[in-house]
Amino acid sequence: AVVAPPLPQGSRLAAAPAEDRQRPGAAEREAAAAAIGAMAGLPLSDVAAHLLDAAGPFARTPAYEHREAQVQMARAVGQTLERRRRLLVEAGTGVGKSLGYLTPLLLWAARTKRRAVVATHTVNLQEQLADRDLPFVNELLPTPLQVAVLKGRSHYISLRRWHRFLAVPDTNGREVDLDAIRFKLKVLAWLTQTRSGDRSELHLSAGEEQYWRRIESSTDDCLGRACANWRTQRCYMVSARRGAADAAIVVTNHALLLADSERQGQVLEAYDALVVDEAHNLEAEATRQLGTSLRNVDLTMVLDRLPALPGGETAQAIEQCREAGRRLFGDVKGFVGERLGGGNPGNGTVALGEDVRAAADFVAVLRAGRHTAGTLTRAAAVLEGASGTATVQAELLPQPERADDELALAAIALRELAGAIERIVCDPRENHVTWLEMRAEQAELHEAPVSVSGPLREHVFDRTDATVLTSATLSVGGSFDFLRHRVGIGDSAEELALASPFDYLSQALCVLPAGVPDYDQPDHEGVIASLVDGIATRLDGHTLVLFTGYGPLKRVHALLSDRLAHSGLAVLGQGLDGTRRQILRSFLDDPRGVLLGTNSFWEGVDIPGERLRCVVIDKLPFPVPSDPLVRARTDLLVDPFGQYILPSAVIRLRQGFGRLIRGREDRGPVFSRPCRRRRWRVCRPRRQVPWSRPS
């Protein structure tokens, strides 16, 4: 294992601001091509390190800034590719990890003529790589490679589903659904311009998400080669996949990487090298991808696809499915409500452990689950035996001549839903955890694998010759053991830890205010609101507050709105004043305000410079021990706190802390309530990588 020493304190090797990176000119391209040609016989790692070196050809490009840690990373990634090994690289903020892995990766692909995949967690990073970093390196190669971006399937519109949605009347009960009409007009205008069919161009609001779900490309509602849009090459999803199949480098996301592994490589096609960026999220994403979540709307969306002729066997089967679904999810809602104390339960979960399954009050849910699974299976058999044109109003289908295919596709979807209900409610699988949940007044059924290390090892890591996992936060207390075991990459993977070049000792201040009541005390939120009020008033806004739950965010938002009403400072709450993207844009345009964000604000949010002067952390981000998945995972451990709860919190806290210092000019305090009650205390971080040791 290789662990690089931290950079000297006060090091000034800082990253160039992302937006400053400019495309190389002809002279730089010539110099790079000449250097690569002259070093053709040298190891890949040496060539990559030379290109990024202070005297190398990349240094001639405008706004390029040499970073020693980046060169170390490029060398290590190059060696990993050449030796067909596995590598874990933690590269602190400002190291420039994108160029640190893209430079050797593109050189390797150009030399070997083999394919590589880069997978990120967030679409933001995916777009940054595709729009800026990848073209920068690619243009410096003697012969640029073909590269492609492939997002998850649901990012692309399905034209067949869109035509079906367009034909549906825009009523919400008896009312005209103006939001649906507005959404349709927006999509109609967009379709005249888009070349990608990618939803990111639409900038959907939170309210429009429900409509997008009805037109996004979806595995369980795709006719494949039988679809007219497939044959005419108009399908955006198919075009994106065709483009990716021909590319030497494919930039995708964790979800698609895992979907590909489930489908035996049919999505991404064969590749020989893999770089997973933001790899600290890999376990969570694999859990989501390999698990199941089910709501009644998932069933009704399948049933709504079939405009059955009234009175026939198909119409009857569809109606029985609707009724069974209503009953099941109604019973789940009642059960969860009672278990959580009666009345309207709001948000909450009930784990389906053996004790709950054996309890008398679960019998109604179990019966409803069996009944629904049976009804769906019987309905699937009816659809499989029916003739399309004789049982559905074919003229209402997007492709009337494909009515039989529509029935067959719906039958497959119903069987899958029946199987999921069986697994979650009636007959749980080994090594899986199941739970019932209420969220936004909707009942949900969930199943997740307790461990994802086996599937990741077998279907992702063992598939490639060389694998690199990287992130700004992979280690805990200087050790990579937590990540290594959680994702199952194996003991042979080498390690490299590269400290951030930022001078945290002089740039950051940790403030641990005494007197903040415990999180579960009634006055906790009032004190947090008062603290934020004081900070924001002194700093003229420019403050980000991070929450671990949506409830506290809403209550602090209400309190702060009152307190700051006459100050001229805006209070921007995630989900209250807009989507994450919208409030972030508002804050970037005018930082005279307080930005309140929950889970997705802890990482991937980049507010460089003066705009952000302070971060307040409402509560240390420990996983909730009563969460069914957390409980199932910690039950298997000798030391649940030390082996799971604490390392998870450390990684998340480091991400949250990292929102503040994004460049060498950034300065400011991070306020966080300490674990134990103590007096007001101000301390400076003692290490370059803040809070990386449990102590």
In the complex, minimum distance from the CB of residue 186 to ligand SF4, in angstroms, rounded to a whole number:
19
In the complex, minimum distance from the CB of residue 325 to ligand SF4, in angstroms, rounded to a whole number:
24
Please tell me whether residue 158 binds ligand SF4 under the rule CB under 6 A: yes
Please tell me whether residue 222 binds ligand SF4 under the rule CB under 6 A: yes
Q: Of 11, 72, 103, 229, which one interacts with ligand SF4 (CB under 6 A)?
A: 229
In the complex, minimum distance from the CB of residue 152 to ligand SF4, in angstroms, rounded to a whole number:
13
Length of the chain: 695
633 close to 639: Cβ distance less than 8 angstroms: no
Structure tokens belonging to residue 86? 């596995």
Please tell me whether residue 235 binds ligand SF4 under the rule CB under 6 A: yes
* CA proximity to 685, closest of 521, 562, 504: 504
Nearest residue (CB) to ligand SF4, 233 versus 492: 233
Structure tokens belonging to residue 253? 């996301």
In the complex, minimum distance from the CB of residue 414 to ligand SF4, in angstroms, rounded to a whole number:
18
2-6 contact pairs (CB < 8 A, 24+): 2/76, 2/494, 2/495, 2/496, 3/478, 3/495, 3/496, 3/497, 4/69, 4/72, 4/496, 4/497, 4/498, 4/499, 6/499, 6/687, 6/688, 6/689
Stretch that binds ligand SF4, among 110-118, 216-224, 454-462, 480-488 (CB under 6 A): 216-224
Nearest residue (CB) to ligand SF4, 215 versus 383: 215
DSSP 6: P
Beta strands in 547-684 (DSSP E): 570-573, 593-597, 614-617, 668-672, 681-683
Q: Of 89, 130, 237, 267, which one interacts with ligand SF4 (CB under 6 A)?
A: 237
Q: Of 190, 212, 230, 550, which one interacts with ligand SF4 (CB under 6 A)?
A: 230
What is the rounded CA–CA span in Å between residue 334 and residue 364?
10
Q: Residue 68 phi/psi, 5° resolution?
A: -60, -40
In the complex, minimum distance from the CB of residue 495 to ligand SF4, in angstroms, rounded to a whole number:
41
Burial class (CB in 10 A: 0-12, 13-18, 19+), 492: exposed
545 close to 556: Cβ distance less than 8 angstroms: yes
Stretch that binds ligand SF4, among 235-243, 405-413, 555-563, 596-604 (CB under 6 A): 235-243
Burial class (CB in 10 A: 0-12, 13-18, 19+), 60: middle
Q: Residue 466 phi/psi, 5° resolution?
A: -135, 140
Using CB under 6 A as the binding rule, the residues of this chain from 445 to 484 that contact ligand SF4 are none
Nearest residue (CB) to ligand SF4, 216 versus 277: 216
CA 585 from centroid of its chain's CA atoms: 20
In the complex, minimum distance from the CB of residue 385 to ligand SF4, in angstroms, rounded to a whole number:
24
In the complex, minimum distance from the CB of residue 191 to ligand SF4, in angstroms, rounded to a whole number:
12
Nearest residue (CB) to ligand SF4, 230 versus 550: 230
What is the rounded CA–CA span in Å between residue 423 and residue 447?
8
Stretch that binds ligand SF4, among 224-232, 356-364, 402-410, 482-490 (CB under 6 A): 224-232
In the complex, minimum distance from the CB of residue 200 to ligand SF4, in angstroms, rounded to a whole number:
17
Please tell me whether residue 223 binds ligand SF4 under the rule CB under 6 A: yes
In the complex, minimum distance from the CB of residue 158 to ligand SF4, in angstroms, rounded to a whole number:
3
Please tell me whether residue 164 binds ligand SF4 under the rule CB under 6 A: no
In the complex, minimum distance from the CB of residue 161 to ligand SF4, in angstroms, rounded to a whole number:
6
106 close to 141: Cβ distance less than 8 angstroms: yes
Stretch that binds ligand SF4, among 113-121, 159-167, 502-510, 687-695 (CB under 6 A): 159-167
Nearest residue (CB) to ligand SF4, 161 versus 423: 161
Q: Of 15, 105, 140, 227, which one interacts with ligand SF4 (CB under 6 A)?
A: 227
Please tell me whether residue 255 binds ligand SF4 under the rule CB under 6 A: no
Please tell me whether residue 165 binds ligand SF4 under the rule CB under 6 A: no
Nearest residue (CB) to ligand SF4, 227 versus 556: 227
Please tell me whether residue 259 binds ligand SF4 under the rule CB under 6 A: no
> 3-state class of 447 per DSSP?
strand
Q: Of 4, 47, 119, 238, which one interacts with ligand SF4 (CB under 6 A)?
A: 238
Q: Of 115, 151, 155, 160, which one interacts with ligand SF4 (CB under 6 A)?
A: 160
Nearest residue (CB) to ligand SF4, 214 versus 280: 214
* CA proximity to 616, closest of 534, 518, 505: 534
Site size toward ligand SF4, by CB under 6 A: 13
What is the rounded CA–CA span in Å between residue 615 and residue 241?
41
Stretch that binds ligand SF4, among 42-50, 105-113, 225-233, 250-258 (CB under 6 A): 225-233
Please tell me whether residue 150 binds ligand SF4 under the rule CB under 6 A: no
* CA proximity to 60, closest of 115, 136, 164, 116: 136
296 close to 326: Cβ distance less than 8 angstroms: yes
In the complex, minimum distance from the CB of residue 221 to ligand SF4, in angstroms, rounded to a whole number:
7
In the complex, minimum distance from the CB of residue 566 to ligand SF4, in angstroms, rounded to a whole number:
52
Please tell me whether residue 159 binds ligand SF4 under the rule CB under 6 A: yes
Q: Residue 689 phi/psi, 5° resolution?
A: -95, 110
What is the rounded CA–CA span in Å between residue 473 and residue 192?
42
Which amino acid, residue 502? F
Structure tokens belonging to residue 641? 């706190």
Q: Which residues contact 286 (CB under 8 A, 6 or more apart)?
A: 254, 258, 452, 455, 456, 487
Please tell me whether residue 50 binds ligand SF4 under the rule CB under 6 A: no
CB atoms within 10 A of CB 288: 16
CB atoms within 10 A of CB 19: 9
442-449 and 432-439 beta bridge pairing: antiparallel
Q: Of 45, 61, 79, 217, which one interacts with ligand SF4 (CB under 6 A)?
A: 217
> 3-state class of 149 per DSSP?
strand
Nearest residue (CB) to ligand SF4, 410 versus 498: 410
215 close to 161: Cβ distance less than 8 angstroms: yes
In the complex, minimum distance from the CB of residue 234 to ligand SF4, in angstroms, rounded to a whole number:
7
In the complex, minimum distance from the CB of residue 241 to ligand SF4, in angstroms, rounded to a whole number:
10
What is the rounded CA–CA span in Å between residue 66 and residue 74?
13
Nearest residue (CB) to ligand SF4, 161 versus 333: 161
Q: Which residues pair with 444 in a beta bridge?
A: 295, 437
Nearest residue (CB) to ligand SF4, 97 versus 153: 153
Binding footprint of ligand SF4 on the chain (CB under 6 A)? 158-161, 217, 222-223, 227, 229-230, 235, 237-238
